[in-house]
Amino acid sequence: MRITQAFTFEAAHRLPHVPKSHKCYRLHGHSYRVELRLEGPVNPNTGFVIDFFDVEHIFGPVLKQLDHYCLNDIPGLENPTAEHIAQWIWQKIKTDLPLLAAVLVYETPHSWAEYLGD
């Protein structure tokens, strides 16, 4: 079974490794959407793969590190592309969410990165 839980956060960033003429070189913000996909068997007793409240409890502290911050100021996110954000989130939560199968980070409704782990 595959389940997905989505979260949102607001943050600013700039991409320091693009040309200065690139619009993403300048500081700007996004309304990010993060989807955490988990895969595993359904527990016959609970009917869950994992309780969504448990996912919120694990991801909540990571979400607080991102929400309403400049992502470039967060250690490990000095070049905060959607790809790097997805990998960073994975590294922060995979140990506590062993059923994690993918992290998706949407910068806009039309552009996102999907990280499936190492």
Positions marked active-site: 24, 68, 107
Tokens of 94: 């995979």
Write the CA distances from 16 to 12, 26, 32, 88, integer angstroms.
Answer: 13, 9, 19, 17
Please tell me whether 22 is known to bind a ligand.
Answer: no
Contact 42, 77 (CB under 8 A): no
> Minimal CA–CA distance to 5: which of 43, 52, 48?
52
Please tell me whether 84 is known to bind a ligand.
Answer: no
Q: Which residues are annotated as a binding site?
A: 13, 28, 30
Q: Which residues are annotated as a binding site for Zn(2+)?
A: 13, 28, 30
